[in-house]
Amino acid sequence: MSREELLDKYIRGELTVEEQKAFEQLEDSTEELTFLRDLEVVLQAEDRSKLKAQFQDFESAAKEVSLPKQEARTRKLPTWSWAAVAAVVLLIGAFLWFWQPAQPDYLADYFEPYPNIIAPIQKGGTSTDALAEAMQSYEREQYETAIAQFATSPTTDTIQFFSGVSALAVGQYETAIANLEAVVEIEGRFQREANWYLALSYLKSEEIEVAKEILTSIQKNNDHPYQKEATQLLEELN
C-alpha cells in the first residue's frame, strides 16, 4: 500500500489494524496530514459557496421566467405564435447544444500512432497468436478491432500501451487514460512514450491543467523522446 493510500485511509478513518501499524511507521507525516485536514475544511467551504451560488442562480432564473408571464397577461398572443416561439427556442437550443467553439485540434497536429516495434508483420504471412493479430490490426489502423484483440491477451504493459494509443486514436479518451496511466506507473519499456500519449489523452478530455503538468515533466527531461513535441505543444497551450 502506497504512502498516499495509507494517509488517505487514516484521514477517512478506514485503517485496519495491520494498516494502522504501517501507518505508525510512516515518517514525517505531520505536514501531509495537516494538508489533508485543511483540504477537507476548504473543500467544504467551497462546496457551500457553490450551493449558495446555485441557489442564487435559481432565484434569478425564476425572476426571468416570471417577467414574461406578466407581459402575456396584458398582450394576449394567438396560440400558434407560442408554437412558433417554442420552435425558435428549440432551434436556438439545438444550435447551442451542437455548436462548439472552435478549438485547435491538437490531436491532429501531434498524434502519431506509435510504430509497431513488437511484431513486424511479415507481408502476406498469416499470424497465429492473439498479440500478433492485434498488432496487425493496429498497424492497419483498425484500432477498434485492435482494442478488442488486445483485450484477449494477458495484460502486460506493452499491450496496455498499444491498447491505450489505439483508444486515443479512436477518441476513447477514458480508456486511453486508464491504460496509459497503468503503463506510466510501471518502469517499463514504454513508460516515457506512454507519458506523451497520456498528456494528449488528458488534453482531449479537456483536462488541460493535468495535460500541462505531464507535458512540463516531459519538457524538463532531457532524454525524453518527446521533449521537443512537448515543449512546442506547451507553447501553443500557453
Partner 1 sequence: MKRETQEEKRTQPDVDSEAMLRQFYFRYRDEFLRAFSKYELDEAARLDVYQDAMIVLVEAMRKGKVTLQNNAKSYLFGIGRNLFVDRIKSELKKRELQADLKNQADISENVTLDHIELSHRQQTLQQAIRQLGKKCQEILTLFYYRKYAIEAIQKAMNYNSENVVKAHKSRCLKQLREIMKA
Least separation in angstroms between CB 155 and partner 1: 12
- What is the CA angle 95-101-106, rounded to 5? 140
Q: Which residues contact 6 (CB under 8 A, 6 or more apart)?
A: 15, 19, 22, 23, 26
The grid cell for 41 is 475544511
CB 75 within 8 A of CB 69: no
* Minimum CB distance to partner 1, residue 38 (Å): 5
CB of 212 to partner 1, least distance (A): 9
Nearer to partner 1, 21 or 50 (CB): 50
- Minimum distance from residue 190 beta carbon to partner 1 (Å): 16
H/E stretch holding 142: none
- The smaller minimum CB distance to partner 1, of residues 54 and 152, is found at 54
Judged by CB, which is closer to partner 1: 136, or 179? 179
Amino acid 49 reads: S
The H-assigned helical ranges of the chain are 3-11, 17-25, 30-74, 79-98, 106-110, 130-139, 143-152, 157-169, 173-185, 191-204, 208-220, 227-237
Residues making contact with partner 1 (CB under 8 A): 4, 8, 11-12, 35-36, 38-48, 51-52, 54-56, 58-59, 62, 174-175, 177-178, 181-182, 185, 206-210, 213
Task: Tell the smallest beta-carbon distance from residue 189 to partner 1 (Å).
Answer: 20
Shortest Cβ distance from residue 88 to partner 1 (Å)?
24
Measured from the CB atom, the residue of 78 and 187 that comes closer to partner 1 is: 187
**What whole-number distance in Å separates Cα of residue 214 and Cα of residue 206?**
14
Name the residue nearer to partner 1 (CB basis): 158 or 201.
Answer: 201
CA 123 to chain centre: 37
Nearer to partner 1, 69 or 123 (CB): 69
Nearer of residues 136 and 158 to partner 1, judged by Cβ: 158
Contact 192, 226 (CB under 8 A): yes
The C-alpha cell 407560442 sits at 82
What is the closest distance, in whole angstroms, from the C-beta atom of residue 74 to partner 1 in the complex? 24
> How many other CB atoms sit within 10 Å of the CB of residue 172?
19
